[in-house]
Amino acid sequence: MMSLVSAALLTGAGAPTPPPPADDPFVWLEDWTGPRAMQWVEAENEATVAAFQNDPRYAGYYRQALAIASAKDRIAMPMLIHGRVYNFWRDADHPQGVWRYTSEADYATDAPHWTIVLDLDALSKAEGRKWVWKGATVLNPEERLALINLSDGGEDAVTLREFDLETGQFVQGGFDIPKSKQNEGWLDRETILIARDWGEGTMTRSGYPFVVKMLKRGESLSAAKEIYRGEASDQVGTFPLILSDGSGNRAAFLYRGVTFFGNETYLVGTSGVKKLPLPAKSQLQGMVEGQVLIQTSEAWTSGGVTVPSGSLAAVPLKALQSGETLKPQILFAPNARQSIDGVAATKGHVILAINDNVRGRVQVLTPGTAGWTSKPVTLPDNATISIATATDKSDKAYLSVAGFLAPTTLWAMDAADPKPVQVKAMPARFDAAGLVVEQFEATSTDGTKIPYFIVHRKDMKKDGATPTIMTAYGGFEVPMTPSYAAITGKLWLERGNSFVLANIRGGGEFGPAWHEAGLKTKRQIIYDDFAAVAQDIFARKLSSPAKFGIYGGSNGGLLMGVEFNQHPDLWNGVVIQVPLLDMIRYEQIAAGASWVDEYGSVSVPAEKAFLEKISPYANIRKGVHYPTPYIWTTTKDDRVGPQHARKFAARLKDYGIPYHFYEDIAGGHSGDADIEQGARLQAMQMVYFSQQLEGK
């Protein structure tokens, strides 16, 4: 879910915290880093580490996972900056990572020579922190200065430091902005727009900033000039966005997240901030030749043109600046089985990646005097295609292509003449010989067909005896598409087991309507979809409940918690990762208040009744035979928070229901503070599935 911005209190900022419910005996575990809660975590961790890391399979799993994660022959994914190829890289020698660059010509070779500009391991050692890379905001058009986003241990809250890409040094006396959840944009070389925690009354209940200020080089934060203020009641916050193009056009915008999916868009001008007549469910995706690209998640009628939901359209920047009636040009409108997966502007073109029945396609869109034209790009089929990087300084771009059994490849392309050439290929990390990928459809409770992929051995007996793990997400219009999961392949598929990816509603596989079908009180259909896929698999005898495990994280962790409660007979293994589980109090924990648009609110009676019905924490029952779950989270998760996982495990323990709980001290919401942590979490999870589905 959204990573936006602040180290606000877990209960939110600027709003009184309701008293904890009298019937919640484990509310004390919501004390994020309180000594009593952390003592409980330490004891639970000790038991789970013993259960998994003492398993004779663990050492091999960890070694294999770490080797894959740290392999030096991985593809160094590119960032095009100032005529160079930059890359952020982790390996065994650099577990926290280095930011480095090479020339475009050298990058095309098998063994590029890299120049390191920032070493996070060395910086962490020198400063006594565990700095985690959270990206960089580069100043256009010079592309020499950058604001580096550094997280202490993996939190969403970051410190900003100005960095000179030419000297490879932090700028002496430059921008150096202390920790907060914050978003920033370069207005010019001497000025940034920044939204952050400015003090009491400047953060929404969900812990995001709603005040944007203009900060000059050399100024203290207290001297920054306020340019816009949202409302403390906004579900998310307000954030700056700078768009520029290869023709020299440049403009500053603000997003005000009134709700998670509904925002107001503002243009920042010399005379102040002006609200734009854009739909609430839309996003600015770039600009080319003065045309601003807008992706919609609702139908939009303006100037006699109706842009369908899920489309990409363009309007002139000059029209936004002048205030004239907008007449959008539709660049792409999806059919019922399509959705937009990525948009990138080059100097004179737009690269559009789409999902077509959960398979990747790419088009190049070009503005012209007679309107826009579209040209399809030929790339491998039955794969996920992502835009790895593009730049408005040229028409160069790189595309990433991957499938369940096809290792990731990288393709270079000139958008002016789109004939992609493969320039990199990741070696196979597991033996895929004899494995096949099939796509089936299950029928949900309302008759809707729910597609899913299953990877299995071609000679697998259809007797229900194959250990199988399945995942899904089902929320926030996020699509789940085929990818090369090397560690799953090595630790699971190589042993003859199967893997399933379910494309349930709530996600973005088929555009906004697929997502909106499961919003708020309609959410039960998402959980029905997931169960229907499992039942379809069992009907085909591809697996059986005794051999079937499921896993998911964040919103997918909520999905796992619901399925654990509603269908304990369908699974023999459930991994619940960095989850939401207490849906009665989720609005009071970490950034929970920002997700009311997705889940509903206990302040609305009908929504409260539904949340009470599906909340995993509230619906554990004594005397029910549940599969033993594995719940893991991280202390540094300041987005969902570890409180949900802790309370769920504590209630299981109170009811005498077996479980495993593990809380990693670092890693944030994504659990990736360094490569060792990722390998450890993967290995422990695979030991759990081996114990549950393959036998002790």
Classify 228 as helix, strand or coil: strand
With residues binned 3-state (H G I as helix, E B as strand, rest as coil), the percentages for the chain, rounded to 5, are 25, 35, 45
In 3D space, the residue among 30, 36, 156, 122 whose CA is nearest the CA of residue 581 turns out to be 30
Alpha carbon dihedral 64, 70, 71, 74, in 10-degree steps, equals 120
Question: Beta strands 468-471 and 548-553: pairing type?
Answer: parallel
> Amino acid letter at 603?
S
Strands (E) in 75-208, as ranges, are 79-81, 84-91, 94-103, 115-119, 131-138, 145-152, 158-164, 169-170, 176-180, 183-188, 191-195
Is 669 assigned a catalytic role?
yes
CB–CB of 455/475 below 8 Å?
no
User: Which residue has 């009665």 as its token pair?
Assistant: 584
Q: What DSSP assignment string belongs to 341-393? A: EEEEE-SS-EEEEEEESS-EEEEEEE--TT--EEEEE---SSSEEEEEEE-TT
Q: Of 124, 669, 670, 690, which residue is the catalytic one?
A: 669
Q: What DSSP assignment string belongs to 534-570? A: HHHHHHTTS--GGGEEEEEETHHHHHHHHHHHH-TTS
Is 567 assigned a catalytic role?
no
Distances (CA, A) of 349 to 245, 286, 307, 416, 544: 10, 11, 21, 7, 50
CB–CB of 681/672 below 8 Å?
no
- How far is 545 from 534, CA to CA, in rounded Å? 9
- How far is 416 from 436, CA to CA, in rounded Å? 37
- How far is 421 from 323, CA to CA, in rounded Å? 43
Q: What DSSP assignment string belongs to 19-68? A: PPPTT-TTGGGGSTT-HHHHHHHHHHHHHHHHHHHTSTTHHHHHHHHHHH
Q: Which residues contact residue 16 at a Cβ distance below 8 angstroms, ignoring those fewer than 6 apart?
A: none
- How far is 392 from 92, CA to CA, in rounded Å? 34
Classify 593 as helix, strand or coil: helix
CB–CB of 566/621 below 8 Å?
no
Question: Beta strands 629-634 and 660-664: pairing type?
Answer: parallel
Classify 427 as helix, strand or coil: coil
| Range 68-74 contact pairs with CB under 8 angstroms and sequence separation of 24 or more | 68/429, 68/486, 68/487, 68/490, 69/487, 69/675, 69/678, 69/679, 70/95, 70/675, 71/429, 73/426, 73/427, 74/426
CA dihedral for 647, 650, 654, 660, sign (positive or negative) = positive
Is the peptide bond preceding residue 141 cis, with omega within 30 degrees of 0?
yes
Q: Of 282, 554, 594, 690, which residue is the catalytic one?
A: 554
In 3D space, the residue among 251, 244, 34, 278 whose CA is nearest the CA of residue 143 turns out to be 244
Question: Beta strands 211-216 and 225-229: pairing type?
Answer: antiparallel
Distance separating the N- and C-terminal Cα atoms of the chain: 35
Distances (CA, A) of 396 to 107, 166, 285, 287, 344: 14, 22, 18, 16, 11
Residues annotated as catalytic (active site), given as ranges:
554, 669
